[in-house]
Amino acid sequence: MDLTNHSVADLFAQLGLPNEEHDIQAFVDAHRGLPNDARLADAPFWTDAQARFLRDEIREDADWAGVVDQLNLMLHE
């Protein structure tokens, strides 16, 4: 079992996004407020590849699922 702990910065890098703290905060500030019934991967600002990655990680309860959940909470606040 892989017990790798990924950070939000790691997730942003995995998604091909700038991953410095100020970049992450700017992204969250720009996209925060997703409707409660909206799934993170269905948000309109992801590329197809990014959405697929997010969807797969959650569906498979994979290695990145915990930090994807964290981002989900950040964007639904």
pLDDT in tens, 11-69: 999 999 999 999 999 999 999 999 999 999 999 999 999 999 999 999 999 999 999 99
Of 72, 8, 9, 7, the C-alpha closest to 41 is 72
Q: Return the ∠ at Cα 54 (arms to 53 and 58), rounded to 5°.
A: 115
Place of tokens 């969807």: 55
Q: Which helix (H) or strand (E) holds 76?
A: helix 65-76
1 pLDDT band, cuts 50/70/90, is very low
pTM for this predicted structure: 0.90
DSSP 51-64: HHHHHHHHHTT-TT
Domains for the chain: give ranges and CATH numbers: 8-76 (1.10.10.1130)
How far is 26 from 24, CA to CA, in rounded Å? 5
